[in-house]
Chain A
Amino acid sequence: MAVRVQTEDFDLGAEAEALGQGGAAGAVVTFTGHVRGGADDVEAMTLEHYPGMTEAALEEIEAQAMARWPLTGALIVHRVGRLLPGERIMMVATASPHRKAAFEAAEFLMDYLKTRAPFWKKEEVGGEGRWVDAREEDDAAADRWS
């Protein structure tokens, strides 16, 4: 179980491979979030976070997932700084003997991370910066686990 906050990119394949090592994991599920450009006209996105609290919050979320599902491993990697459309923002990966727990736990990690980990996104559109608003759907998605 691990959390990392970093500016540099990560190797999704290598992370998933590492989490599946050891033989106990029959299933590894990964989710990767990318900067969405396209129809949103987003030219870049800058991610800010609260050093110290971020790591503690992510560890707490991961610990809850480990307590709730029979996981053999879990990983959260989240990037900060300025990112361009298409770039990877973050990933979660879960490993479990069976797929159902791995799928559910990955979704739980994402839903909790979006509403409980202190990250903030600022988009650049037409050369102007604007802070991304929190979405009510994200709160609803997190609430369904409680």
Chain B
Amino acid sequence: MKVVYFAWLRERIGLSEEVVEAEGLATVADLVAHLRAASDAHALAFEDMAAVRVAVNMKVADYDAPLAGATEVAFFPPMTGG
């Protein structure tokens, strides 16, 4: 699946998107645990999950949301438009 990052998560991780093998990852929380182990930058970006929001297939989701059928998962800070 494709994982995309926005705002300070993109800057901190140093990537706007990456492809992650979805096998063995049942929920968003599983994906976060997997990403944390990918690099120090990932670990830092996902240090405080209270500051991070997630969308699965472009819809806002929770950390316990299942990844079945997920093609794109996005991580970003709380929205600040308007």
Residue of B nearest to A134 (CB): B78
Residue of B nearest to A54 (CB): B81
Chain A residue contacts of B55, Cβ below 8 A:
50, 53, 118
Q: Decide yes or no: A114 and B58 within 8 Å by CB, A50-B6, A50-B74 being known contacts.
A: no
Question: What total count of A-B pairs have CB within 8 Å?
Answer: 67
Q: B6, B59, B74, B80: which has the most chain A beta carbons within 10 Å?
A: B80
Chain A residue contacts of B76, Cβ below 8 A:
50, 118, 120
CA distance A138 to B80 in the complex (A): 9
Chain A residue contacts of B6, Cβ below 8 A:
48, 50, 118, 120
CA distance A55 to B74 in the complex (A): 15
Q: Decide yes or no: A90 and B82 within 8 Å by CB, A56-B58, A120-B6 being known contacts.
A: yes
Interface check B7, CB cutoff 8 A: yes
- Let me know if B8 and A131 touch, CB within 8 A: yes
Chain B residue contacts of A48, Cβ below 8 A:
6-7
**B38-51 vs A: 1/0 string, CB under 8 Å?**
00000000000000
- 17 CB < 8 A contacts A-B: A48-B6, A49-B81, A53-B58, A78-B81, A89-B82, A113-B82, A115-B79, A116-B79, A118-B55, A118-B76, A119-B80, A120-B7, A120-B77, A121-B80, A131-B80, A133-B80, A134-B80
Q: Report which B residues bind A (CB closer than 8 A).
A: 4, 6-8, 55, 58-60, 74, 76-82
